[in-house]
Structures are given as C-alpha cells and as structure tokens.
Structure 1
C-alpha cells in the first residue's frame, strides 16, 4: 500500500484542484480533473507515482462506482410511473443498440460502441469508467476511455445550456422538460444544473429521471460482462483479457441499492457515501488522465467523434418523441 501512496496523493491533489476550479469558475469538475491529469502524464511514465496512479485508476474507480448504489432505491422507480420508466429504460437500450449499429457503419469496433453508447445512455463519465472496467483490454482501451469521458463531459455541458432553450421553444411543460433533461443529458451534475435553471419542479423531476438511468448501470454492465464472457475466445484472439463473471463492484452496487431500498441507510450516511462516491470518481478520473497522453486522444479519429455526437442526438430524439407520444 505504501508504494501506492505517492500516485494516490497526486491524484487527490488534482481532484481537489479540479473541484476548486469547478466551484469558483463553473467548469465541470470531471472535465477539469481529466485535463489536469493529462497535463501530468509524465508522472505515469516512470518514477514513484506509477503504481499509485495505476491503483487509483482501477481500484478507487470501482469503489466510486459501487458507492453509486447508495443513491438508488425502489422508491425512485415508483415515483415516476410505469410509462415514463419504460421510456427511460427503452432509451438506454435503444441508444446502446444504435451505438453498435452506427459503429459498424463507421468502421469502428464494438468496444468503443459499448463504451460510448453506454456512457451516453446511462450516466456519462461514471458509466464510461464502469463499462471500461469490464471490457477486455487492448492497446486502445485507455485512449478510448479518455476520449469518451472528455466527449460526454463536453457534450453534457453544451446540453446543459442548449436543452432548456430547446424545451422552451417546443413549449414543453415542467414535467415534460424535467423528463427530457433527465433522460438525455449525460452527467448528473449537468442534469441538476439544467433542471433547476428552469424551475424547482423541473429540477426535481430531471434528477429523479437521471437517477433511474443511473439504476440501469449495474444491469447493463452485468449484461455486457456476461455477453463478453460468452465470446471470451474471440476477445482473447483480439488481444483482450477474459473478464470476471460478475464484477465485484457491480455486486456491491446492487447490494447497496437493495439496502437503501429497505431504508436501512440513514440519510446522513447516504449523503456521506454519495459524496465519497463522487470524490472517488473524481480522484480516479484524475489518475486515468495521467495515464493517457494528449497525442493518443487525438489518434482516436473523426469517426469516433461522429459516433458519440450521433448517439447524443439519437437519445435526445428518442426521449422527445416518447414524451410527445405519451402526451398525445
């Protein structure tokens, strides 16, 4: 553990700096942590920080994803009603299927399709890191993860500004606006920002819908893991490594969600664990940033940018169509 301390502490310092910049200048904390991490890439190449950076980008990441389960409960699902829940769930499923189809048409692999499609469909950077943890590794894995986190964070920030204006133009009511914002914007923080910029009711609805999308994280990662295992021989031939049957952090996510559903987590502890989850993800994304050079991100290519933008447009169109259909 002592070997991991220098790299972990550097990641913590970068995360704290990113949070300071976010609070004082309004920039997304995840984006700041990622960019600052990339600036310190040299620390991940050699020296005392290398093992700690690897530990933080892997183990601390899984802890952060597992603790997201404390934000989920069955009560959330009951609050919206079956029609809107079905719309949100179908939005997640069809966006991932669209990503696989679009990636094939653009000549990109299934790994980046699942990574970008899952992050757009579920919860942005957090989903990208969780999905990356179960995908078989190859030489492009870290580059694709950094690209995805960077892209969904930027797109979320753009959506936070643009989507409230779109809902106003389309004359959606507060409930419909909340469902649209929560069902389409990638990251939780930007959903909250966009929703409460419209009204209190819109903000609460948007946050609720977003958390239902977050609930899909564990099932989706589990399905990905099981499907990948069934094609493990192909993955191995492709330079990948056989993933575990059910990742431990997914089990912990489900366990914490179940405990929270029974009301066994006091409110003060739930808040503390939720904050711990956010900090763990922020610290780990700083470490992931340090492991990746800017040049490798630029190597990802224009097709990957087209892919993730197309996925973003698809889920926005799907949810908007669903809202209009349910209203009709």
Structure 2
C-alpha cells in the first residue's frame, strides 16, 4: 500500500515595516553594484574601477531626476540612505582584510616615508588651496581626502565623520553637502583617469627604475584600479611595488578619519551656545575605523585561508559598489558643471601637488 506524500508547509516570515521600507532601495543599489562589477569585468583589467562605474550609474539616475518623483523617492530613498552609510562602513571594515602589517614592513622606512610625506602634503596643501580658491570647506575636505588617500572610498568614508547638515537642516545646506560629495567623486575620477596615461609616460621619460615608478604611482594615483592600470603598463615589478604602496596608503585612512572626527568634535564644543546642536557625544574613534584596524590585525595573523579572503573580497566589492551607486544618486551633473569651476581648478592643483611631492620624495629617498 502506497501512502500519499506528506505535504510540507513552509512558514513565511513576514517582513517588519522597517525592512519593507529599506528593501527597495537596498535592492536597487545591489542590482546596480552587480551590473557595475559585471561591466568592469568586460573592460580591460584595471582600466575602470567597478566603483567608478557604480558611481556613474548613480549619477545618471540622480541627474535624470528619477528620484524627484514623490512616489519613487518614498520607496527607495530610505534604503539608499542605509546603503550610503551603514553598508558603506561595513565595506570599509572589510577593506582592512586586504592589508597586513607584513606588507607595510616590506616597504622599508624609505617607502613608508615617501607615502607619509605625500599623503600629508597633499591633504594639508589641498585644504590650503581650497581656502585660497574660496571653495566650500566641505568640498575642500572631500577633495583633499580623495586625492591624498584612495579616491572614492576615502571620500565616502570621510562623509561618515565630516561635519555636515544633521536632522532638521535647511534644504539648502543638504543640497550643498550633496554637491560637495558629488564634486569630489567626479574630480578623483577625472584626474585619476588622466594619471593612468600620464604617469607611465613621465616615469619612462625620467628613467625611473621599476621599483621607483611603482612606489611613485602607488603613493600618488587615486583609485586602486587606476594604480593597477598605470603601473601595469610599465612592468610586473612596477605593478607589485605600486600595489603594496597603495595598500600602505589606504592604512592612513584610519588615522585621518580619527583626526577629522576629533577636530570636528573640539570645534563643536568651542562653538557659542546658540550654535551648538544638542547631541550625544560621538566616540573618540569612529566604530568602523576600529573595525578597519581590527580587520588589518586579523589579516596580519595569516590565519585566514585564501578561499575565505576571496569570498570576503567579493562581498566587499558588492558592498562598496552598492554604496557608490547610492552616493552617486545625489550627484546632479548639470548643476556640477555649471557651478564647479573653482573645484575643477582645485582638483587639478591637488593632482599636480600629489604627483610632484610623490615624485620628489621618491627620487630623493630611493
């Protein structure tokens, strides 16, 4: 006698109201990230970062005015806001698993000194140039961070600690904050792309060794993909040196974010009473910065197998690309071109400063 198969009922877990509000925006950003990564895989290796592609897609959506529709914005903006902050910070933490103390030690004191001098001079010099050019302070901060450290990821991470409009801020202040972010992201993309072509040509013209060229490129070019493309055009030795130098430069993101966070906290405390905004005191070191440093320490132990690191790398890329798309939706390209002339000059000056200081330090110390 045959028995009828037993019917198994799968219980569906209903989504909470918060999850339902966040899901559309997070799903949109995730789909855009996967499309960007797929597009990056079809392009020549290192030519364009998937993060840049994701940011471009976001800028297209933002500039087209799609999100200005009340119906669309109500459905996707909460999830995009979560993606541009919480998911971004998670990606930055996972970025720490790409680095190890052993890689830093391998550069030697000369290489580390070149990187420290280049980053410091670029950040301080760009900030001073921004004031001289009367570029808004927040724009100058983002540009200085992007050119000094690691392009779009550094700018996005700085957004988490930089002073800006909070709850109840005027719409005009919020628009200016979005413009500052969009301007900085656009500048590191434009001038970093120029560097991919210019740096190999200058290195060959000056007769730099492979190690010198790689160190210079790693210390001076913005995006990781741009570093790979520029150094890879020279030789394998230059590419290896550039990659390690770039990773060492990324480590300086943590102390820079902490310094800006502490400086902003002191300024808020010193402000006249009417200008202060009552709020909980932020931690001395942002939590995601501590997570980044912890990830570096974990990677330095050598206990994580390559298969785990590869899987984490894929997840990291998806998270960061999602965040770049979410941030890109705040960019209005038409308005940026119309109002960003001073910022364009600042970007050119910052790129020139970074390249010049990096080259001088490399030739002098190595």
- CA spacing shift, 1:251–1:8, aligned 2, 3 Å: same
Against the structure 1 CA distance between its residues 144 and 300, is the aligned structure 2 distance closer, same or farther, given a 3 Å change threshold? farther
Q: In structure 2, what is the Cα distance between the partners aligned to 1:115 and 1:291?
A: 15
Q: List per-residue Cα deviations over 1:142-195 (Å, max 9, x = no partner).
A: 211121112102221221122111100111011111111111110011111221
Structure 2, unpaired ranges of 5+: 1-18, 166-172
Q: How far apart are 1:129 and its partner, in Å?
A: 0.5
Aligned-pair distance for 1:31?
Answer: 2.5
Give the corresponding residue for 1:159: 195
Q: Which moved more, 1:125-134 or 1:151-160?
A: 151-160
The equivalent of 2:247 in structure 1 is 211
Distance, in Å, in 2 between the alignment partners of 1:306 and 1:240 is 37
Residue of structure 2 in register with 1:8 after alignment: 26
Normalization by structure 1: what TM-score? Answer: 0.93
Task: Report if the CA contact (8 A) 1:43-1:49 is conserved.
Answer: no
Matches within 5 A, 1:18-37: 18-26=36-44, 27-37=48-58
Cα distance, 1:20 vs structure 2: 2.7
User: For 1:134 and 1:147, how far apart are their aligned partners in 2?
Assistant: 18
Residues in 1 aligned to 2:149 and 2:41: alpha-carbon distance in whole angstroms: 25
- Whole-Å Cα distance in 1 between the matches of residues 334 and 87 of structure 2? 26
Deviation at 1:114, TM superposition (A): 2.0
Cα 1:215/1:80, change in 2 over 3 Å: same
CA distance in 1, matches of 2:268, 2:313: 34
Which stretch of the first structure deviates more once superposed, 225-234 or 60-69?
A: 225-234
How far apart are the structure 2 equivalents of 1:232 and 1:24? 47
2:60 to 11, 36, 39: 39
Partners of 1:316 and 1:122 in 2: CA distance: 13
Per-residue CA distance 1:212-242 (angstroms, 9 max, x = gap): 0001111111111111111114499499987
- Aligned residue pairs, count: 327
> CA separation in 2, counterparts of 1:49 and 1:78?
45
Which of structures 1 and 2 has the bigger CA Rg? 2
**TM value normalised by structure 2:** 0.84
Q: Provide structure 1 residue ranges, at least 5 long, that are not aligned to the other structure.
A: none
User: What residue is the counterpart of 1:130 in the other structure?
Assistant: 157
C-alpha root-mean-square deviation of aligned residues, in Å? 2.1
